[in-house]
A and B are shown apart, each in its own frame.
Chain A
Amino acid sequence: MASRIEIYSPEGLRLDGRRWNEVRHFRCGINTHPVSSDGSSIIEQGNTKVICNVIGPAEPTLRSRVLLDRVSISVKLVVAPFSTIERRKRPQSDSRIQEMCSSIQHVFEDAVIAHLFPRSQIDVNLYIVAQDGGVLQACINATTLALIDAGVPMYDYICACTAGMLDREVLLDLNRIEESAMPFLTMATIGGTRKAALLQLEMKVQFDRLESMMAAAMSGCHHVRDLMDNEVRKHGKSRLERGSL
């Protein structure tokens, strides 16, 4: 089956009609679940859809979690059984899910200004509603927006994007089929800077190609940052107009 698909045509078009440096359609919403959480967001990147709820900063539920000098962040990730093509239930203890939780946790522990809330806890709950590649990037972006909505002070946006390498071609923002066909990395930058908050690569890539992949991923991150920033400002403006701030 796979050999019958042309991932990247000689004319420079990908399976879904994008060119190498184009990200999928990006839609985000902020403050989507105002009742059930302190901050919430939804992210759609192509057909990947993630909802994020943030609760806190609040009193820790477990005493053991208390950090004396800073806020502790706990991430819970729920993958909906209907999110993939074939319906399948995944237990919370799934090691991939655990790993993603821990990556996200580490990224945001450094991104929020943690010392402002000692002895408190932030709960980040992520719900993956639909998967079409780039799940980790969508989770990170959603968390950023939800934390902003919750009013947690942060140093900057954390924005993530994937890039893959097919032979000699870099492709930006892979979908599910592309992810299975080539090595790819997920990168998260601190806002529009060139600082990386996360760089995750699970496959073998020739060392000299890594740089171009990172460069592409970084430009994708910056693009995502602008899109998120627009949404945040739009939302802020509308709330200001409503006078609900």
Chain B
Amino acid sequence: MASVKRAYRDSLSKRLTLSQKVFVRSRKGKATKVVQEHYLRTDIPCSSQLCPTCALNPPKDSSGTSRPFVLSSDPPSVKSWGPHYLVPDTNIYMKAMDLLEHFAAFYDVIVLQTTLDELRNLSLPLYNRLRALTRSQEKRFYVFHNEFRQETFVQRLEGETINDQNDRAIRNACVWYCVHLEEAVAGTGKSAPTILLLSDDKDNIKKAKELGIVCTTLETYVRELPQADTLLDMIVVEGDEDAAGPNRYSYPEYYSTSRIQGGVKEGLLHQGILKINQYNFLEGSVSVAGFERALLVLGRESINRAMHGDIVVIELLAREQWKQPSSKIVEEETVTKNDNPEDDMQENIVTAQERKALIEEARQVQHSSAEFRVQPTAKIVGIVKRNWRSYVGHVDASSVPSDAASAHRQSSVFLIPMNRCIPKIRLRTRQAINLLGKRVLAAVDSWEPTSRYPEGHFVRTLGDIESKDAETEALLLEYDVQYHQFTQTVLDCLPKEGHSWRVPADTSDPLWTGRQDLRDLLVCSIDPPACQDIDDALHARLLPNGNFEVGVHIADVSHFVKPDTAMDNEAASRGTTVYLVDKRIDMLPVLLGTDLCSLKPYVERFAFSAIWEMTADAEIVNTSFTKSLIRSKEAFSYEQAQLRIDDKSMTDDLTEGMRILLRLSKLLRQKRMDAGALNLASPEVKVQTESETSDPMEVEVKQLRETNSLVEEFMLLANISVAAKIYEAFPQSAMLRRHAPPPVTNFEVLADQLRVCKGMTLRCDSSRALADSLDNCVDPNEPYLNTLIRIMATRCMLAAEYFCSGTMTYSDFGHYGLASPIYTHWTSPIRRYADVVAHRQLAAAISYETLHPSLRDKPKLEHVCQNINQRHRNAQFAGRASIEYYVGQALKSREIDAEGYVMKVFSNGFIVFVPQFGVEGPIHLRDFGNPEPPCNFDEERYTLIFREGTDEETRLQLFDRVVVHVETVVEESTGKRKVALRLRKPLVE
């Protein structure tokens, strides 16, 4: 890449040699010549602890510190090469990042700048992982900037390709290291570690051998290591290009990049995120700006190797080919049961069964007259960005060769991911038999047009299926929850005193400046039972002028977590605390979360207070915010608080204060409802676990008391007040939360269903109209129906999101569900990072402290928002999945009949929701007998009529109440224990 125009020593800061990097770049079709300076230096250390010369004068950074030397003086040793430092080629990073991250091997690695730069151009995610490795202290990875060191710099020769030049640079650096280390140990009697070049490039190896460099391929190296079998599986599989026979059918090729770019620009092609229907793996949808409804993508060929979450480019099909969304449950497992992982020479990508499933649907389209159901249909012609990550799943037992002879040969098996939206992944492994019955983590490497399934490689096993640890870890991995322990650097940010940290008694202490002493207020907290991280506390009292003073006190987390510290970065990347049934994955170290920040009763704690003066009608007269010191008088559970309020004999000031709070909260709630706030519902159940073993015992539906809504109202009020304040102070960079109004089309189907089945109307022109019409959806015979409709309406909504105020206009700030023009999260800084940011901004807004620059930096805040939105969503999913798992476990050995409601009707089955356990599950028609009983599916009336055996006809309509038999089985497709439902009898009154 570099050619030299001049190279001369010059009077620079230090003795540097100058060279010029000259290359031609094409931009907008024009070729331009770029000249960059390239300084060569001699002070780049080898970073080996063996070397005394480099250690003499280590380079310093602007704060005057120098980096410690990384490579150990006693590197690991293997049989063939003895103690060695590894120098991997770029292709090794591409293939074996999982291996490099493995704790069992790969220590003392020299990462050459050449390879690092190459990797950065090839794959940014891999680059970031490698950078993370170089930061970790255990793995001892050192980045050697060989292109800036005079001795190891190579100039591009005439006619040499960039790849060849890079390879030469790598070899040069190896040679230099060999010589340098020999010199370093000369006279000490020690022998220098071998410099071992790892490369899978034959040419590079050959040339390296000519130079006398010790080198080998990755595979030969790994074979020398203990645990070779496990490690070998972790190498990325390369697409086998020769295997493609001439007559093989394959997926359509993607369009060329230029065609895609041009097409998107002209509006012929569209870009969006693919979502796979969880009930039908052959159906996906892509939401595209400019289309009211999502575009359908039907069938394996149209989906064309895209996976759930990928950003894809699609092309609309002709109008005759438009279809309607499937009215059938299609599971991958039943359709592709007999595929053989070894044999890819199948005649077709799309199998006969899959064709059949599609044809049936096409037929139905023609029968149906419901015009609005036909949706624009498209096919995928390119992929902009893969959403590939590691997937947790289990190995399909039927794909594992059973004969003992092949047990340790490399074989291909299928991994069935836990997530239904992800197709099977083909793994090549030597330990197929050992993997059976285990939760396995695997990564996807590629998906060639000629291969029916994506290719992947094994990463590690998590443990036995259905063992609690493995399932919990699987869940955390699947939802990308960071569950590792806090590192030492994070823990170092905690106060030195630990649990014995106390508020300084002396009020002249600097910690007291700007802090109000509110210890004499009657503050109490109301939380779920056994809550340890108490974020919020409340107080209320009557003022002499007849108004009320109400205070919300929030744990002062920002006092302990200062911006731009290791702890802050960790919290920002975790984003939120994740609550699982038996476990809590904290955002902040336990010391802060459950002790120093937590507003525990009877002790003094720093708080951030919002204090209002309100009239008896809950009109706000005055709002103020202050950092404070409080001493909570009591920590109630919702139930205790309720009992105390209801107990007429209690007339102490604390109870009276709580009564004031309750009265005001009801007024506030009424006001909110009048403004059009929605009262939504979600199927919430709680799993009671045995305290010792945390084995699930009982499933119960969560109870809501008045005190729940008391706390909620004041938290909402505090959040709204804070949002207004920080927006006023920082109009460009306030951390806010918005909930966009859902597009009207989202409610179309639900409204139609209600009209047809129940004769009810659902209006959704505004949140007020929706709230009112939801209130009217009441069937006196079906008390639960209203809740069910609310649950279904909730699913039609968009998700609320954090954003930085400078990125949107004020009119978009609104929170639809709460009917508030502006909103933020401020009240739970122990468990949400957004609240920590809001705390800091509020502190700056009341001039308590200066605002840290990162909270003023719009791009950085946007980045934070993006991350916490993602984390927040994942935390919710993980929580739900955990409940689902435990419900399954709780019902493991029981069989019960329970009431349920039909939530969705397909032509070959229906989905039933069981409120008692908060679960929903499909009932297939095939469960009623083999062959499937004849049925009559009336799509417009959402009715399915079928005859079971010789019984009389069964008629099922949407929203019908049914009795189902609940038991649990291990689902074959996902390996999860799932609730299986069987219809007992429909109840039609």
Q: Check B148 against A27 for contact (C-beta < 8 Å).
A: no
Contact with A along B121-158 (1 / 0, CB 8 A): 10010000001001100000001010110000000000
Please report which residues of chain B, range 18-60, place their CB below 8 angstroms from some CB of chain A when the two chains form the complex.
18, 20, 27, 30, 32-41, 44, 59
Please report which residues of chain A, range 188-220, place their CB below 8 angstroms from some CB of chain B when the two chains form the complex.
206, 209, 216
Q: How far is the CA of A177 from the CA of B121 in the complex (A)?
A: 18
Q: Check B120 against A10 for contact (C-beta < 8 Å).
A: no
Q: Check A170 against B32 for contact (C-beta < 8 Å).
A: no
* Cβ-defined partner of A206 (8 Å) among B41, B124, B853: B853
* Cβ-defined partner of A175 (8 Å) among B37, B131, B135: B37
Q: Is A11 in the interface zone, CB < 8 Å from B?
A: yes
Q: How far is the CA of A4 from the CA of B13 in the complex (A)?
A: 28
Q: Which residues of A contact B120 (CB under 8 A)?
A: 4, 6
Q: Check B62 against A16 for contact (C-beta < 8 Å).
A: no
* Cβ-defined partner of A27 (8 Å) among B10, B62, B131: B10
Q: How far is the CA of A216 from the CA of B63 in the complex (A)?
A: 12
Q: Is B61 in the interface zone, CB < 8 Å from A?
A: yes
Q: Is B16 in the interface zone, CB < 8 Å from A?
A: yes
A175-B37, A206-B853 known; A12-B61 Cβ under 8 A: yes
Q: Check B13 against A223 for contact (C-beta < 8 Å).
A: yes
Q: Check B148 against A22 for contact (C-beta < 8 Å).
A: no
Q: Check B35 against A22 for contact (C-beta < 8 Å).
A: no
Q: Is B14 in the interface zone, CB < 8 Å from A?
A: yes
Contact with B along A60-75 (1 / 0, CB 8 A): 0000000000000000
Q: Is B11 in the interface zone, CB < 8 Å from A?
A: yes
Residue of B nearest to A212 (CB): B62
Q: Which residues of B contact A170 (CB under 8 A)?
A: 62
Q: Which residues of B contact A4 (CB under 8 A)?
A: 120-121, 124
Q: Is A76 in the interface zone, CB < 8 Å from B?
A: no
Residue of B nearest to A84 (CB): B32
A4-B121, A227-B11 known; A17-B38 Cβ under 8 A: yes
Q: How far is the CA of A4 from the CA of B120 in the complex (A)?
A: 7
Could you tell me the distance in whole angstroms from the C-beta of B738 to the nearest C-beta in chain A? 26
Q: How far is the CA of A120 from the CA of B289 in the complex (A)?
A: 67
Say what secondary structure dominates the interface of chain B.
mixed
Q: Which residues of A contact B16 (CB under 8 A)?
A: 17-18, 22, 25
Q: Which residues of A contact B20 (CB under 8 A)?
A: 47
Please report which residues of chain A, range 225-245, place their CB below 8 angstroms from some CB of chain B when the two chains form the complex.
227, 230
Residue of A nearest to B25 (CB): A85
Q: Check A9 against B143 for contact (C-beta < 8 Å).
A: yes
Q: How far is the CA of A85 from the CA of B30 in the complex (A)?
A: 11
Q: Check B131 against A10 for contact (C-beta < 8 Å).
A: yes
Q: Is B808 in the interface zone, CB < 8 Å from A?
A: no
Q: Check B148 against A17 for contact (C-beta < 8 Å).
A: yes
Q: Is A132 in the interface zone, CB < 8 Å from B?
A: yes
Q: How far is the CA of A112 from the CA of B44 in the complex (A)?
A: 44
Q: Check B10 against A25 for contact (C-beta < 8 Å).
A: yes
Q: Check B62 against A21 for contact (C-beta < 8 Å).
A: yes
Q: How far is the CA of A34 from the CA of B349 in the complex (A)?
A: 80
Among the interface residues B33, B34, B37, B145, which one has the most CB atoms of the partner chain A within 10 A? B37
Residue of B nearest to A22 (CB): B13
Q: How far is the CA of A70 from the CA of B853 in the complex (A)?
A: 46
Q: How far is the CA of A113 from the CA of B39 in the complex (A)?
A: 40
Q: Is B404 in the interface zone, CB < 8 Å from A?
A: no
Q: Is A99 in the interface zone, CB < 8 Å from B?
A: no
Q: Is B67 in the interface zone, CB < 8 Å from A?
A: yes
Q: Check A11 against B67 for contact (C-beta < 8 Å).
A: yes
Q: Is B12 in the interface zone, CB < 8 Å from A?
A: yes
Q: Check B13 against A11 for contact (C-beta < 8 Å).
A: no
Q: Is A181 in the interface zone, CB < 8 Å from B?
A: no
Residue of B nearest to A5 (CB): B120
Could you tell me the distance in whole angstroms from the C-beta of B838 to the nearest C-beta in chain A? 20
Q: Is A24 in the interface zone, CB < 8 Å from B?
A: yes
* Cβ-defined partner of B145 (8 Å) among A3, A13, A24, A227: A13
Could you tell me the distance in whole angstroms from the C-beta of B605 to the nearest C-beta in chain A? 30
Q: Is A127 in the interface zone, CB < 8 Å from B?
A: no
Residue of B nearest to A176 (CB): B36
Q: How far is the CA of A23 from the CA of B16 in the complex (A)?
A: 11
Could you tell me the distance in whole angstroms from the C-beta of A63 to the nearest C-beta in chain B? 46
Q: How far is the CA of A19 from the CA of B60 in the complex (A)?
A: 9
14 A-B pairs with CB atoms under 8 Å apart are A4-B121, A12-B59, A13-B145, A17-B39, A18-B13, A18-B16, A21-B62, A22-B12, A24-B37, A25-B18, A26-B10, A47-B20, A169-B61, A169-B62
| Known pairs A21-B13, A132-B35 / 11 extra A-B pairs, C-beta < 8 Å | A4-B120, A4-B121, A11-B67, A13-B148, A15-B36, A17-B41, A17-B147, A169-B61, A177-B36, A209-B853, A223-B13
Q: Return the 6 tightest CB-CB contacts between A and B, nearest first.
A: A17-B148, A17-B39, A206-B853, A22-B13, A16-B37, A12-B61
A binding-site residues for B, Cβ under 8 Å: 3-4, 6, 9-13, 15-27, 46-47, 85-86, 132, 169-170, 175, 177, 206, 209, 216, 223, 227, 230
